[in-house]
Chains A and B, each alone.
Chain A
Amino acid sequence: MEVNQETIGHLAKLSNFALSKEQSLALEGDLRSIIGYISQLDELDTDGIEPTYQVFEMENIWRPDEIRPQEADREQLLALTREVRDYQIKVPKVL
């Protein structure tokens, strides 16, 4: 996989990051070496092998359908956001 400034720009856009030129260049180098390292795995033949979903071999982990009091209430949770209006989270216009 080729890593260039275009790749970094695309990933930054998907992740909603505003990157400076220096950051973008530094990330290009870092990402290229990470991808290069991981690419060693391409030597292996993985055809027909199920991806590893998890390593604990657990299944059917669930909880009963019962409402429980929460450790944090509405006010505490809203307090974590930058701006609130009428108990709603105010964000920059998205549409």
Chain B
Amino acid sequence: MTKYIPTIGIECHVQLCTKTKLFSEVDNDARGKEPNSCVSPVDYGLPGMLPRLNQEAIPFAIRAGLALNSQINLESRFDRKHYYYPDLPKGYQITQLFHPIIGEGYVELPDGTKVRVEHAHLEEDAGKSTHESAYSLIDLNRAGTPLIEIVSMPDIHSAAHARDYTKELWRVMTYAGVTFGDLYNGNMRFDVNISIAPEGSSELGTKTEIKNLNSFRSVERVVEYEIKRQTKLLEKGETVIQETRGWNDATGETTGQRSKEGAADYRYMPEPDIPPLRLSADDVEQARQNLPKMPMWYRQQFAEILPTDLIEVLLDYPQLMRKLAELEDSSAIKKVANLFSSVLLAEENTSLLNDELPSKTQLLDLVAMNTKNELSSTGTKEVFLKFFDPEMHYKDTHTIAKELGVVQENDLGALEAIVDAVLAKPETQQAQADYKAGQEKVLGFLVGQVMKESKGKANPSSVQEILRKKLQ
């Protein structure tokens, strides 16, 4: 049987988190706002309106480009792409076809595979349509939101790599700080192009495009589904039609939507309303200096300290990675990384991720107390949680530990005094005699008595050691 090799290219739309839209001076953050409340005459495409470019979109685009290891094109221009659809009232989208701001680059996946980026360009988003059974409803809050569209080369050949690529793109863009990266709210959306061809064939097969996916998992499922569907067609001797297909997350199937318009049908033309951009090498250098550390940097930084799977889990939370890097000391990084994953990422605590993280000093003190056995592992977790308590978070680690009463007594002198007091009690005499007679088990009872006397603050292993010595 013929083996088919899939070839996949992915286009990704990233909504930039600027304050205002790309060409109008209205609020760009419409999360939780009423429909059509963040709109202007420019977004409605009213006659005589002049779109004006948002200055801040430029450094955002440069940063996104640098995060993609891309060349930044110092000269770029805008073009009009015409199509009639109610979510775009002016009848065309302002985009960059001929001279995009971001040139060739690549994204490196966790396993080291490189997926090349063909280019990326700035454009405006369209409004949001909700389709009812008899009509559609349009909300223009999103119309005009700045987007970076990242176009990959057809370098992907499996569903797993398609998922890894989209996930890594999401990480890279959120680490670069150019987007809120909220997938649920459509901050990043993926279009997948996929074709299959017999192994060894020099020509690619006919591709289909599946648009508007908003999760890594659905990208992976779409690719798995399309590989199967197209393979079945070819095995039956039928052909794949070049078309746009829609994905239904509930049924797990794609269905044909429309045959694709040719590029000429969009009647691209230079955008006369927006003069071209000419950047200086300095603009790019400045953005480079402001570019936060990327996921790959953290992978390399922690490779010797943390297990790979823990790094990958924590990488989903840039703030946690940055905090770990702040600690510098590798044993502290190890302990705090485990606290992050066992406490913060536990189902019941994930809301804490929105809070301010403990300071470097608080964390280093916590690690030190734990290392010196002043805190048990349970005590360490309790104190760690209190770092997020609005009443406690400003206090230092020692104060919190004392207030919680979880500091273990390790002072041998003080411990000895407690042990002596317990051994002097009439109710422990029988146990002492039994122990001396060879009954090891009663030591547990005596340790328990000492713990009780110390109100739980004694370090049990030290207590045991002292008891053994005294009862020799």
**Cβ-neighbour of B275 out of A60, A71, A74, A93 (below 8 A):** A60
Question: Known: A91-B136, A92-B136, A94-B131. Contact between A67 and B84, CB under 8 A?
Answer: no
What is the minimal beta-carbon distance from B137 to any residue of chain A, in angstroms?
Answer: 4
**Cβ-neighbour of B54 out of A62, A85, A88, A93 (below 8 A):** A62
**Is B44 within 8 A of A65, CB to CB?**
no
Most central of A60, A68, A72 by chain B CB within 10 Å:
A60
Contacts of A67 in B (CB 8 A): 19-20, 25-27
Contacts of A78 in B (CB 8 A): 36
**Is B18 within 8 A of A65, CB to CB?**
yes
Chain B contact-residue range equals 35 or more
Q: Which of B325-381 contact A (CB under 8 A)?
A: none
Contacts of A58 in B (CB 8 A): 275
**Is A60 within 8 A of B26, CB to CB?**
no
Contacts of B25 in A (CB 8 A): 63, 66-68, 70
Contacts of A70 in B (CB 8 A): 25-26, 39-41
A61 at the interface (CB under 8 A from B): yes
Question: Known: A14-B265, A62-B52, A94-B86. Contact between A88 and B35, CB under 8 A?
Answer: yes
Contacts of B57 in A (CB 8 A): 65
A20 at the interface (CB under 8 A from B): no
**Is B275 within 8 A of A89, CB to CB?**
no
A86 at the interface (CB under 8 A from B): yes
B55 at the interface (CB under 8 A from A): yes
What is the minimal beta-carbon distance from A29 to any residue of chain B, in angstroms?
Answer: 21
**Cβ-neighbour of A61 out of B46, B52, B83, B132 (below 8 A):** B52
**Cβ-neighbour of A87 out of B34, B54, B55 (below 8 A):** B34
Contacts of A68 in B (CB 8 A): 25-26
**Is B275 within 8 A of A91, CB to CB?**
no
Contacts of A59 in B (CB 8 A): 275-278
**Is B275 within 8 A of A77, CB to CB?**
no
**Is B134 within 8 A of A93, CB to CB?**
yes
C-alpha gap A50/B56 in the complex (Å): 28
Q: Which of A43-95 contact B (CB under 8 A)?
A: 51-54, 56, 58-68, 70-72, 74, 77-78, 80, 85-95
**Is A94 within 8 A of B20, CB to CB?**
no
**Is B84 within 8 A of A89, CB to CB?**
no
**Cβ-neighbour of B137 out of A14, A63, A88 (below 8 A):** A88
C-alpha gap A51/B272 in the complex (Å): 12
A-B contacts counted at CB < 8 A amount to 123
Complex interface bits, B21-46 against A, C-beta within 8 A gives 1, otherwise 0: 00001110000001111011100101
**Cβ-neighbour of A91 out of B44, B53, B138, B278 (below 8 A):** B138
Contacts of B270 in A (CB 8 A): 51-54
**Is A89 within 8 A of B277, CB to CB?**
no
Chain A contact-residue range equals 35 or more
B117 at the interface (CB under 8 A from A): no
**Is B35 within 8 A of A63, CB to CB?**
no
**Is A53 within 8 A of B77, CB to CB?**
yes
Question: Known: A87-B36, A91-B135. Contact between A62 and B129, CB under 8 A?
Answer: no
**Is B278 within 8 A of A60, CB to CB?**
yes
What is the minimal beta-carbon distance from A93 to any residue of chain B, in angstroms?
Answer: 5
Question: Known: A54-B276, A74-B39. Contact between A64 and B140, CB under 8 A?
Answer: no
What is the minimal beta-carbon distance from B180 to any residue of chain A, in angstroms?
Answer: 16
B392 at the interface (CB under 8 A from A): no
Chain A residue at minimum C-beta to C-beta distance from B134: A93
Chain A residue at minimum C-beta to C-beta distance from B258: A95
C-alpha gap A63/B23 in the complex (Å): 9
Contacts of B34 in A (CB 8 A): 74, 87
B58 at the interface (CB under 8 A from A): yes
Question: Known: A59-B276, A62-B52, A71-B41. Contact between A88 and B139, CB under 8 A?
Answer: yes
A16 at the interface (CB under 8 A from B): yes
**Is B55 within 8 A of A64, CB to CB?**
yes
What is the minimal beta-carbon distance from A83 to any residue of chain B, in angstroms?
Answer: 8
Chain B residue at minimum C-beta to C-beta distance from A91: B86
**Is B276 within 8 A of A65, CB to CB?**
no
Chain B residue at minimum C-beta to C-beta distance from A15: B84
B130 at the interface (CB under 8 A from A): yes
Show the binding face of B for A, using Cβ within 8 Å: 18-20, 25-27, 34-37, 39-41, 44, 46, 52-58, 77, 82-86, 129-140, 257, 265, 267, 270, 272, 274-278
- Identify 16 new A-B residue pairs, CB closer than 8 A, beyond the known A85-B137, A86-B137: A14-B82, A51-B270, A54-B270, A54-B272, A60-B277, A62-B55, A65-B55, A67-B19, A77-B39, A78-B36, A87-B34, A87-B35, A89-B140, A90-B135, A91-B135, A94-B85
